[in-house]
């Protein structure tokens, strides 16, 4: 028995994982350049996406903690003179390797989608 269509359940799961998967890629990319804190990360995502992607604060920090638990980022409280204490996150070596993998996978996904959506050649 062949099962040729993606099931509706697959589609819902895909939608969920689309956001979740891309969120990890976004966060790892942003802390690759330098260490950032949570508020800065959420603002950068919003501004660089032109407002298309916004992070709910209730899900951002638990996600940061999960990435930290996996060892991909490392958080550190920093208290600067005249400023409140903030937790900065930077990429770890494991995180750098994961970022490379996710970039490759994401690119392959994009290419695959492109092959489908590009006009057919005669």
Partner 1 sequence: MIDWRHEARARLRLTSSATDRTRDLVDETADHLRAHYEALRGRGLSHDDAFAEVVGELEVGVPHDGNASPSWMEGLLRDVRSAIRTVLRAPAFAVVAVTIMAIGIGASATMFSAIDTILVRAVPYPDADRLVAISETNRADAGVRGVSAAMFTELQRATSFGAVSAWRYWGYELGGTPEPERLRGARVSASHFALLGVRAVAGRVFVTGDDAPGQPKRVVLGEALWRRRFGGDTSIVGRSLDLNGDVYTVVGIVPAGFALPDADLWVPLVFASYELDQRGTRALSVVGRLAPAATASSAQGELDAIAERLARQHPESNGGWGARENSLREEVTGAARTPLTLLYVATVLVLAAACVNVANLLLARGAVRRRAIAIRLALGAQRRRVMRQILGEVMLLSFAGATGGLLLAMGGTAYLSRLDASAYALPSASGVGAAAFGAAQLMHVDLAVVAYVTIVAIAVAAVIGLAPAIDAARLDPASLLRGESGGRQSRWSRLTLRDLPVVAQTATATTLLIGGALVARSFREAQRVPLGFEPAHVLSFNVSLPASRYASSGERALFFDRAIGAIHARPGVQGAAVVSHLPLAGGALETDLTIEGRPLARGGERPTAQVVNVSGGYFAAMRVALLAGRTFDARDRERGQPVVVVDSTLAERYWPHASPIGKRMRLGGSIGADTAWREIVGVVGPVRADRIETAARPMVYVAYSQNAWPSMTVVARTDDDALRYADVATASIRTLDPSRPVYNVRSMTEIVDRQLAPRRLQTSLLLVFALAAVLLAITSVHGMLAFAVAQRSREIGVRAALGATRRAILVLCLRRAMSRVLVGIAAGAVLAIATSRVLQSVLYGVDASDPGTIAGVIVLLALAALLGALIPAVRAASLDPMRSLRAD
- Which residues bind to partner 1, rule: CB under 8 A? 1-4, 6-10, 13-14, 17-18, 20-25, 37-39, 42, 56-66, 75, 84-87, 102, 104-106, 108-109, 111-112
In angstroms, the CA 17 to CA 56 distance is: 16
We find the least distance from the C-beta atom of residue 33 to partner 1, in angstroms, to be 20
For residues 117 and 112, what is the distance between their CA atoms, to the nearest angstrom?
9
Least spacing, CB of residue 77 vs partner 1, in Å: 8
Nearer to partner 1, 96 or 100 (CB): 100
How is residue 87 annotated by DSSP? E
Residues 6+ apart with CB under 8 A from 43: none
């Amino acid at each position: 028995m062949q099962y040729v269509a993606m099931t509706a359940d697959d589609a819902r799961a895909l939608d969920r994982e689309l956001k979740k998967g891309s969120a990890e890629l976004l966060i790892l990319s942003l802390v690759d350049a330098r260490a950032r804190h949570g508020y800065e990360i959420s603002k950068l995502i919003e501004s660089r996406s032109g407002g298309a992607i916004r992070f709910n604060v209730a899900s951002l920090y638990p996600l940061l903690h999960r990435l930290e638990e996996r060892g991909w980022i490392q958080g550190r409280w920093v208290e600067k003179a005249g400023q409140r204490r903030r937790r900065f996150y930077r990429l770890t070596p494991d995180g750098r390797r994961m970022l490379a993998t996710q970039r490759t996978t994401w690119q392959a996904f994009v290419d695959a989608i492109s092959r489908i959506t590009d006009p057919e050649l005669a």
